[in-house]
């Protein structure tokens, strides 16, 4: 059982921002910025390492990059934003389904942490 797979399957409600056949983009339930969107590949990969080992991983990463651009357009992030992928325990990943945070709508500092 994976909570993001359940969201993708419509079993758990979410606020959709953008969707196509490869990705679903939803608002984070606990936003840290005016825009905090999660880009979820519709195929389950545990994380970016798992994705890198999959034959169709590149197809999904390509879809992610295009979806990030769509989200930025929808939310009017024309002055920039940040994309974050937490990977594994030390990376602070809490949901083990590959996802990318799109964070924006405020002036972020140049420091990552
Ligand atoms: P991670 O720490 O794994 O990179 O990020 C997981 C993110 O998923 C967190 O920012 C958390 O707020 C978000 N999240 C966890 N459960 C749900 C949920 O049921 N719905 C939505 N929309 N976001 C969730
Ligand atoms: Zn999943």
* pLDDT per position as a tens digit, 23-78: 999 999 999 999 999 999 999 999 999 999 999 999 999 999 999 999 999 999 99
Residue 11, both tokens: 């079993």
Atom of ligand 1 nearest to the CA of 32: 10
pLDDT band per the 50, 70, 90 thresholds, residue 90: very high
- Pocket of ligand 1, beta carbon within 6 A: 3, 12, 14, 26, 28-30, 38, 86, 92-95
- Tell me which H or E stretch contains 58: helix 57-74
φ/ψ region of 94 (left if φ > 0, alpha if ψ in -120 to 50, else beta) reads: alpha
- Between the CA of 82 and the centroid of ligand 1 the distance, in Å, is 17
Give catalytic residues, as residue numbers. Answer: 99
Atom of ligand 1 nearest to the CA of 86: 4
């Amino acid at each position: 059982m994976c909570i993001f797979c359940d969201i993708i399957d419509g079993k758990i409600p979410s606020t959709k921002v953008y969707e196509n056949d490869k990705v679903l983009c939803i608002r984070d339930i606990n936003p840290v910025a005016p825009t905090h969107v999660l880009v979820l590949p519709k195929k389950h990969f545990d994380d970016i390492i798992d994705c890198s080992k999959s034959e169709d991983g590149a197809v999904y990463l390509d879809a992610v990059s295009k979806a990030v651009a769509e989200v930025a357009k929808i939310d009017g992030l024309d002055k920039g934003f940040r994309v974050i992928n937490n990977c594994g325990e030390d990376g602070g990943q809490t949901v083990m389904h590959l996802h990318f945070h799109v964070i924006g709508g405020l002036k972020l500092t140049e420091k990552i942490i």
